[in-house]
Amino acid sequence: MKVLNIFPLSIFCNKINLTDKKKKQMIDEIRKMKENSKLEEYKKKGDAWTGDTQGFENLQKNKIFDEFFSEVKKNVYQYLDQLKIDTSQLDVFIQRSWATISYGNETIAKHKHMQSHISFAYYLKKSSNDANLMIYDEVIRNEVIPGLFGSLTAFKRKILKELNVLNASQYTINVKEDDIIIFPSKTLHSTQPTNNNDERISISADIVCIAKSSEVLEHLTPPFKNWEKM
Ligand SMILES: [Fe+2]
């Protein structure tokens, strides 16, 4: 007997090693952004501070982050290579990038990045008590009995005897400082609920892939040079 596990979700995990000096410079810059928030009332009690909602959504244009983004680029190309995507036929763009800061019980609720293809989270400042990253499966192909895999009562009754990679519909990635996690933007994710965020700082970005040529190509976004503004 054998079980074939097919159609996986692959999450790319690696480290970006920057000097302490560079990291401090980035942290100070992000703290400054928070102090200059442009829509403070948007952040409700219990929400993490997210730079994209506060007027700081273009870290990729800030020189202080240049070294970081050149490391990001290497990792994104490695990720695409793992998926056997020929990047020589694509233009890859960072659309926008922002920082997040969490204190205490502040969280980032479940969400997807609907307007892009690839997203990442990089942990610039994180202690072991700070929230990890949670990933959710919305398809749950193996859930033969609807509702079973997410059912707390079924789990307590041990109808579902144990959680494993075949039946889990959510997964917590234990992330450490310096980790970069890359995943499809359409993946539902959140931060892990905790009361113990010290000053957790992460950076995220949205990345899109555009075809260099649309010739004999039905899918993918065609190159900008052929677009005509209406
Ligand atoms: Fe996100």
Nearest residue to 190 via CA among 204, 206, 176, 207: 204
Structure confidence at residue 119 (pLDDT): 98
Structure confidence at residue 143 (pLDDT): 96
What domains sit in the chain, N to C, each tagged with a CATH number? 12-132+174-212 (2.60.120.620)
Distance 43 CA to ligand 1 centre (A): 16
Distance 189 CA to ligand 1 centre (A): 6
Distance 108 CA to ligand 1 centre (A): 8
Distance 111 CA to ligand 1 centre (A): 6
Residues of the chain under the 50 pLDDT cut? none
**What is the percent of the chain with per-residue pLDDT over 90, rounded to a whole number?**
93
Distance 3 CA to ligand 1 centre (A): 33
pLDDT digits (tens, 9 = 90+) for 110-143: 999 999 999 999 999 999 999 999 999 999 999 9
Distance 110 CA to ligand 1 centre (A): 8
User: How far apart, in whole angstroms, are the C-alpha atoms of residue 118 and residue 184?
Assistant: 5
CA 165 to chain centre: 20
CA 11 to chain centre: 10
pTM for the structure as a whole: 0.94
User: How far apart, in whole angstroms, are the C-alpha atoms of residue 175 and residue 195?
Assistant: 17
Distance 149 CA to ligand 1 centre (A): 24
Structure confidence at residue 39 (pLDDT): 84
Structure confidence at residue 40 (pLDDT): 84
Distance 95 CA to ligand 1 centre (A): 14
Distance 121 CA to ligand 1 centre (A): 7
